Structure 1
Amino acid sequence: MILVTGGTGLVGFHLLLQLSLEKEAIRAIYRSEKKLQHVKNLFQKENKLAEFEKIDWVQADILDIPALETAFTDVSYVYHCAAKVSFDPKDEDKLYQNNIVGTANVVNISLSTTVKKLCYVSSISALGNGTEHNLILNEETERNNEAVRSDYSISKFGAEMEVWRGFQEGLDVVIVNPGVIFGNGFPKEGSSLFIQNIKEGQSFYTLGKLGIVAVEDVVKAMTTLMKSTISGERFILVAEDVTYKELFDRIADCLASSASATKVKKPKYLVKKWQTQTASVLEFVFAKLFFRKRMLTKSTINSLYNLEIHDTSKIKKTIDFEFLDMKVYLKELIEKR
């Protein structure tokens, strides 16, 4: 049996959609009935309601060991997609608990049961650091622990350490490090907020870069790696490194050409780093006074001006992998909204 944690998230949903086409039994973990109903609706839109019903849905939490142990009964392969995503410093403990402790629980139970192989969905934020003379990152780039890092980045790196521990103790593992994942089905979460913000008239941009990838490519890489004999390896999954300006312009063009939003304009005001840093001070005061979540932390500001690019030759060579064209993909994605 295959077990998927985080079955009601973007990667989890698309992974289950793909796995449901295969013959092996599937079990998926969910936490809330509301999210489960949302995924059920997505399966129905894909005319796959019968496949949804075949999945053994188990309500559990990766921090609830007894419930997790029940979910692992007779499981041979695990896709660990569950994670907490936040860049608010107030969520440091939640990130540690969900991403590091939760992953440790998944690894420990995998080691003590019938699990043969584990695939962990990490992030490019867990990778090493570029330098002034080399901005190209690969799977072996060293991580500078003195660099400014978000709590999310630290938690994903810590989770990877738990997976590597499992590998050292005899568990077959693979790790994927995707960039910002785009995909349909979750219009108010994650990367979809880029599209929503441009649609609502965002006028500012920076010239930093970010790695982007389609969720279908993430799922394809994960399932291919799990079916292979590959173990003890991590793989960067980035289809393209693009500046925020280029991404926002593409999104605006796609929205403008769609029937639903013909008046969308491209962002036109370049924001320099010092301006963002000034705004972060004001935001800090505002957040303290009104108990709001912070967005402009040191780590998020650095990411807005980051110029690192990602070497994806490893995944391409190892499993003969080709990424989808993100220009075409974004256009098709926005047309589906």
Structure 2
Amino acid sequence: MLIQVKIAVKIPFTLIFPKCNNYIYPMILVTGGTGLVGAHLLYELARAGEKIRAIHRENSDLNKVLEVFSFYSEAEEAKKLFHQIEWNVADLNNIPQLTEVFVDVQQVYHSAALVSFDPADEKELRKVNIEGTANIVNLCISCRVHKLCFVSSIAALGNITNADKIDETGKWNPEGKHNHYAISKYGAEIEVWRGTQEGVNAIIVNPGVIIGAGFWNSGSGKIFKKIDSGLSYYFPKVTGFVGVQDVVKSMIILMNSEKVNEQYVLVSENISFKQVFEWAANALNKTKPKRKLQKWMIALGWFFQKIGSIFGRKRSITYETINSLHEESYYDNSKITQEMNYQFEPMESVVKRTTGNYKN
């Protein structure tokens, strides 16, 4: 079935809004600051003494950001760094709010996104990830922002025919079996590339599965919680993994370089989830998961979740998940390692350190 990515309608912001950059107090704007990547990015920028503005939703918990800071600094220093940030309530689809936070902004790190694999969230994924990114790009154009960094995902990368590893040159197959999250991230990338044609200097990064401290109830953070509670099953999926600190350091290096309108895969190693589970179990002194999750088990879970969705329950398993949890996908990080001479931290070290943060 042909899957189409709808591109958000371009709005002539320069005709609607006045010039919003005088650079009296040049700032860095960060979206998604209350997420795993955003919180670690804010820590690195604050530690470097940058003038930072971060946006968050009205109901978001800023204490999670402070918790991340406390993993790497003493309590008082963490609070000091946290209070260096100018926090503003803004929604990616609220243009007046966004326009206000773009005043005096020279650089934008756009890491905000909705992550969901529930087919029921398709419209919201498009609204937040594609339309929200289009709004950011349009304001970068209107406000003459110097440079934009967009955090995408390896899920948005196309496959390469007859190649062992996937890199930045792969072509997206619109007829492929993509989940709605991947489609929305690819659509967001299209918006960024559209912006580059209209004068925006941009960098796109495609991280693998990101491992890092904090946010233990969502994303990869749940791995440590499940291992700690006695996870007995594993799935054999192999994919690209990367530490969150490598992600944010790469972003900062690329933003402060002369590189523009380029895309980079951010993956430290291609390893199995089973290996990550075992490293975490060893560090937590827990029993390693020994039972392989068979396809029929995943299919059964999909069936019951599909029934549950009739009653409004969220789904984490889709039809595509049945096969994907047994697939092996390998990613090539040579572009950033060669062009920027960047060396990634080994994943065993990342997992051990993150496990230590979890225990503390």
Structures share a fold, TM > 0.5? Answer: yes
2:323 equivalent to 1:294 = no
Q: Which residue of 2 aligns with 1:127?
A: 157
- Structure 2 counterpart of 1:64, which letter? N
Contact 1:236/1:315, CA 8 A, preserved across alignment? yes
- Identity over the aligned pairs, expressed in percent? 45
Q: Indicate the SS of the match to 2:83.
A: helix
Q: Which residue of 2 aligns with 1:272?
A: 294
Q: Which runs of 4+ in 1 moved over 3 A?
A: 40-45
Q: Which residue of 1 aligns with 2:143?
A: 113
Residue deviations 1:142-164 (CA, integer Å, cap 9, x gap):
22211111100000000000000
Residue deviations 1:288-320 (CA, integer Å, cap 9, x gap):
2x4211122122233312211001000101100
Q: Indicate the SS of the match to 2:150.
A: strand
Contact 2:36/2:215, CA 8 A, preserved across alignment? yes
Q: Indicate the SS of the match to 2:47.
A: coil
Residue deviations 1:307-334 (CA, integer Å, cap 9, x gap):
1100100010110000001101211211
Query: What are the residue-to-residue correspondences of 1:5-16 with 2, within 5 Å?
Result: 5-16=31-42
2:339 equivalent to 1:318 = yes
**What is the deviation of 1:34?**
4.5
Query: What are the residue-to-residue correspondences of 1:155-234 with 2, within 5 Å?
Result: 155-234=184-263
Q: Distance in 1 between matches of 2:266 and 2:133?
A: 20
Instruction: Decide whether aligned partners of structure 1 residues 108 and 294 sit closer, same or farther in structure 2, where only a CA change above 3 A counts.
Output: same
- Structure 1 counterpart of 2:337, which letter? K
Instruction: Decide whether aligned partners of structure 1 residues 202 and 41 sit closer, same or farther in structure 2, where only a CA change above 3 A counts.
Output: closer
Contact 1:212/1:240, CA 8 A, preserved across alignment? yes
Q: Indicate the SS of the match to 2:170.
A: coil
Q: Distance in 2 between matches of 1:266 and 1:22?
A: 40
Q: Indicate the SS of the match to 1:334.
A: helix
Q: Distance in 2 between matches of 1:112 and 1:19?
A: 25
Which of 350, 353, 357 is the equivalent residue of 1:329? 350
CA RMSD of aligned residues (A): 1.6
2:101 equivalent to 1:68 = no
Q: Give the count of matched residue pairs.
A: 328
Q: Distance in 2 between matches of 1:146 and 1:135?
A: 21
2:114 equivalent to 1:58 = no
- Structure 1 counterpart of 2:100, which letter? T
Contact 1:130/1:308, CA 8 A, preserved across alignment? no
Structure 1 window deviating more from structure 2 (35-44 vs 119-128): it is: 35-44
2:334 equivalent to 1:308 = no
**What is the deviation of 1:250?**
1.5
2:53 equivalent to 1:32 = no
Q: Which residue of 2 aligns with 1:154?
A: 183
Q: Distance in 2 between matches of 1:155 and 1:292?
A: 22
Structure 1 window deviating more from structure 2 (270-279 vs 224-233): it is: 270-279
**What is the deviation of 1:277?**
2.3
**What is the deviation of 1:178?**
0.2
Which of 20, 25, 29 is the equivalent residue of 2:46? 20
Contact 2:29/2:105, CA 8 A, preserved across alignment? yes
Q: Which residue of 2 aligns with 1:259?
A: none
Residue deviations 1:27-58 (CA, integer Å, cap 9, x gap):
11111355123323443562221222121111
Structure 1 alignment gaps of length 5 or more: 257-263
Contact 1:207/1:243, CA 8 A, preserved across alignment? yes
Structure 1 window deviating more from structure 2 (154-163 vs 49-58): it is: 49-58
Instruction: Decide whether aligned partners of structure 1 residues 108 and 206 sit closer, same or farther in structure 2, where only a CA change above 3 A counts.
Output: same
Q: Indicate the SS of the match to 1:84.
A: coil
Q: Distance in 2 between matches of 1:69 and 1:20?
A: 23
**What is the deviation of 1:281?**
2.1
Structure 1 window deviating more from structure 2 (121-130 vs 268-277): it is: 268-277
- Structure 1 counterpart of 2:288, which letter? K
2:70 equivalent to 1:49 = no
Structure 1 window deviating more from structure 2 (44-53 vs 56-65): it is: 44-53
Contact 2:107/2:148, CA 8 A, preserved across alignment? yes
Contact 1:210/1:241, CA 8 A, preserved across alignment? yes
